[in-house]
Amino acid sequence: MSCDFLKEANSGIQGLMPYQPGKPVDEVARELGLDPARIIKLASNENPHGPSPKALEAIQGELSELTRYPDGSGFRLKQLLSYELGISSRQITLGNGSNDLLDLIARCWLAPGRNAVYSEYAFAVYPIATQAAGADHKVVPANNWGHDLEAMAEAVDEQTSVVFIANPNNPTGTWLSEKQLREFLDQVPERVLVVLDEAYFEYVEESVYPDGLKLLDDYPNLIVCRTFSKAYGLAGLRVGYSLSSTQIAETLNRVRQPFNANALALAAAEAAYKDKDYLQKSVVTNKAGLLQLGMAFRELNLDYIPSVGNFICVQVDDGEKVNEALLKEGIIVRPLRPYRMPNHLRVSVGLPEENQQFIDALNKVL
């Protein structure tokens, strides 16, 4: 090939490394010759209960209409969210997962000559979306594995267009209080968009944890992103949404791909959102799992980062080495070298028996 097409790509994309997802079960089974049925995946912060039965029923009802395009406006889902959240449907933007929305935001407001501010150890999509848009990024050192909002406010300059904040943060599980967040938002110029990524919102039960939705009226430069991939168990269908001012939502819709949320995803999300029992069961299982894993780490004399998400980070001597040993035991977790946390593993909360199998395997490989 005479042409180097990478060199012909946008300058920001030339230096990008692809996002590295957690290893799928089939890949581990092929590589290590293991029985897929005996492999436990605790790598991608997925809901261990599987999807809501009501979501599966809704999907079944849509199958005969797959020759038709989905509702490009997502009318029914947006109406449901509007009613439940007490917000205008014009303030809701649907995405192919919340990752899609993060990319849309970057495409709308980041460009060469502009920059985005985000924390060290923040979600890997923030730098990818920023760099792909040709913008610069200002990475602010973390404070005790979490966001240092005071330092992030100081990092905002005339070229800053977007600030990304994950609450709780992935992969560390740290979180910010409403007081901390309000103090930060009060310091940020109104022209700077603040993206509050609440992918794990439904799991958090801390009394002073902020609900981003309730901050929108006070801060018109705020965008809140949420997803159906985690607590609602629909990671495979990819559907998320953002909440913002109508002007921001209308801007996002100018670049949003037509039909970016497919028909099955729309139907399943609507049904899952209505299934309050499923959500409550997921939250209860997660809370117990965090306690189970934390207790095991203490018994093994392993440091870990307290988490309010559906995952927890534990420190080991060599994350890659321990990860490889766990894979041979049929346990998939997430090594964090890409996040510059080479001595940590992120472990998703599974069912009690899955957590115990991981604990037993970790005890063995250590």
pLDDT score, position 25: 77
pLDDT score, position 10: 72
- Report CA 68 to chain centroid distance, whole Å: 30
Choose the final residue of a domain: 221, 244, 274.
274
Cα angle for residues 149, 150, 151 (degrees, 5° grid): 90
DSSP symbols for 128-157: HHHHHTT-EEEEEPPBTTB--HHHHHHH--
CA-to-CA separations, 212 to 96, 166, 189, 194, 282, in angstroms, rounded: 21, 11, 18, 11, 21
pLDDT score, position 3: 77
pLDDT score, position 31: 78
* Cα separation, 116 vs 275, whole angstroms: 37
Q: What CATH number is associated with residue 118?
A: 3.40.640.10
Choose the final residue of a domain: 274, 306, 330.
274
Q: Is 10 among the domain residues? A: no
Q: Is 79 among the domain residues? A: yes
pLDDT score, position 28: 72
Q: Is 1 among the domain residues? A: no
Q: Are residues 93 and 186 in the same domain?
A: yes
Q: What count of other Cβ atoms lies within 10 Å of the Cβ of residue 332?
A: 23
133, two tokens? 């848009």
Choose the final residue of a domain: 209, 241, 274.
274
The rounded average pLDDT for each run of 10 residues, N- to C-terminus, in the chain (366 residues) is: 67 66 74 82 96 98 96 96 97 96 96 97 94 95 97 98 98 97 98 98 96 97 98 97 97 93 97 98 98 98 97 96 95 94 97 98 95
Domains contained in the chain, number: 2
Q: Which of 340, 282, 335, 342 is nearest to 310 (CA)?
A: 282
Tokens 């449901």: give the residue.
80
Contact of 241 with 226, CB cutoff 8 Å: yes
Q: Are residues 298 and 332 in the same domain?
A: yes
Q: Is 154 among the domain residues? A: yes
Q: Which residues contact 62 (CB under 8 A, 6 or more apart)?
A: 263, 264, 267
Domain of 151?
53-274
Q: What CATH number is associated with residue 311?
A: 3.90.1150.10
Q: Are residues 115 and 227 in the same domain?
A: yes
Q: Are residues 124 and 173 in the same domain?
A: yes
Q: Are residues 44 and 58 in the same domain?
A: no
pLDDT score, position 19: 62
Q: Is 8 among the domain residues? A: no
Q: Is 59 among the domain residues? A: yes
CA dihedral defined by 328, 334, 339, 341, rounded to 10 degrees?
Answer: -60
Q: Is 176 among the domain residues? A: yes
Contact of 116 with 156, CB cutoff 8 Å: no
Q: Is 207 among the domain residues? A: yes
* Cα separation, 238 vs 261, whole angstroms: 7
Contact of 18 with 308, CB cutoff 8 Å: no
Contact of 88 with 246, CB cutoff 8 Å: yes
Q: Please give the helix or strand (H or E) that residue 41 lies within, else none.
A: strand 40-41
pLDDT score, position 190: 96
pLDDT score, position 309: 97
Q: Which of 152, 205, 159, 200 is nearest to 180 (CA)?
A: 152
Contact of 350 with 296, CB cutoff 8 Å: no
- Whether residue 342 is preceded by a cis peptide bond, meaning omega within 30 degrees of 0, is no
19, two tokens? 């996002």
Strands 40-41, 331-332: pairing kind: parallel
* Cα separation, 160 vs 156, whole angstroms: 6
